[in-house]
Amino acid sequence: MLNITSNSSNYINFSFKLGKLTFAERLIFWTIVLTPLWWMLGIQTLLYPAVAAFLLAYGFKFDNIIQGSLPFSNWTWLGMVLVALWTNLLGLESIGFKALKTAATLFTLFKGYFLIFACLTLPFWYRIRTKVITRAVAWVGASYLIILTIQFLILFALGPQKSFLPPLARLIPGEKLSLMIKFAVIQPFFGIPLPRTDLYTADPPILGVCALLSFFICLEERNKTLRQVSLIGCLAALLVSQSRLAWVCFPLVWLIIYCFRSGLARQAYLWVISLLTLFAAILSLSLKDLITLPLATFNSARADSSKDREYVVSSTINAWKESPWIGWGFMEKTVTWGNGAFEMPLGTFSSYAQVLYIHGIFGFLMFLLALVSTLSSFWKPAIFGNRYCQRAFACLVALCLLVHATNLTWMAIYFWFFFIWLGAILSDVQQQQSNVSEWEDLLGNC
């Protein structure tokens, strides 16, 4: 530990000891910490799923499967991988397995649902401590503050700059838009011109999701100085993302955590309905009006964007109705508006609409089962006071709302560490329950 002591006897704690790291912890730690480097090289979309797949294959043992060490939620995500693969193959078969379309579709599955399953599973096959993930994410949160400061200095000193493609990204086949390094720009928000950027992600709303999840992970960082800097960085990234839904979810996560810690979690739904009804009665509004009016204000912040998203989602649902059970298998059709001035692939917005469109009702039911089972895995320990599970549950609720606006398979690559964090928490809970059972058996034998 290094202490810097001032005349007033106050000191700043710079202790960064994590103890001896396992091979998996070291690889994951540095992969997360060096996020700015991977971003500048343009290899994020390949590197993260490759690391997860390598560790999954390297640590694979039949004993891990036979002993039933994985929770049910992990199996549901594997089920989602298999259902998605099945519907993908059916769709690709209908067009004759075109090389580029087949590669793009399978790679999307690899860096989407398979990545989620792998990250949730790794902590059950290796020792991966939550404090290691927290420390790595805290360094990324601190880097948000540094990169944002640099981007704002460039914006206000030199003006808007053109985006460019990183060197290694040129070697990766397929679309390049998500690999571009973009600088901060000025965009209107509620009619006010404000700076906006997407940092290490492909789109500003994804930055909002990453910043939100990272903030609540960083709350457990033990080094006070690093924790404060990382939290400031996450808040700054959340603000400049201009993600309206992420802003709404931020206080929602705090509210859910408070309900757990105040003992109100079991009655939370009653309180919400009662308060909404009370406000509606006071304002002489129907419950529908109470929801509609704030939503109209919410959408007015970026009215054109909201209308475009609504149009694409409704068109996606209409296309799904033509193949309701197994979907279309891949994103192929597009929708245009503005006399052909704008064009967007169906399924671009909203994970729920996208899953219906690509994987049909079978995929949609499996997707819901995966989300609900993952949520329920944290519910009981959260009720009994596990602080990690409380934060994990609250963040998952927010994520269930956030994927309504952005595809999970598109943005999961940018917060892959969140799923490792969830897996590490579940692994710790399972280990604690196993230890309790062993003590109960021992006492029973005595």
**Predicted confidence (pLDDT) per residue in 360-376, tens digit:** 999 999 999 999 999 99
Mean pLDDT, rounded, of the chain: 82
- pLDDT given at position 112: 92
Using one digit for the tens of pLDDT, what is the confidence trace for 374-386? 999 998 899 888 9
Q: How confident is the model at residue 120 (pLDDT cuts 50, 70, 90)?
A: very high
The predicted pLDDT at position 442 comes to 57
What's the per-residue H, E or C state across 224-262?
Answer: HHHHHHHHHHHHHHHHHCCCHHHHHHHHHHHHHHHHHHC
Q: What percent of the chain has pLDDT over 90?
A: 41
% the chain with pLDDT above 70: 80
Please report the pLDDT score of residue 345 as a whole number.
77
Q: What is the distance in angstroms between the CA of the first residue and the CA of the last residue of the chain? A: 45
pTM of the model: 0.86
Decide if pLDDT at 74 tops 90. Answer: yes
Q: Return the minimum-mean-pLDDT range out of 42-56, 289-303, 422-436.
A: 289-303
Axis crossing angle, helix 204-218 with helix 416-445, rounded to the nearest 10: 30
Winning range, highest mean pLDDT, from 228-237, 258-267, 307-316: 228-237
Q: What pLDDT, in 10s, does the model give residues 311-346? A: 778 888 888 888 888 888 877 777 776 655 566 777
In this predicted model, what pLDDT tens digit does every residue of 418-431 receive, in sequence order?
999 999 999 998 88
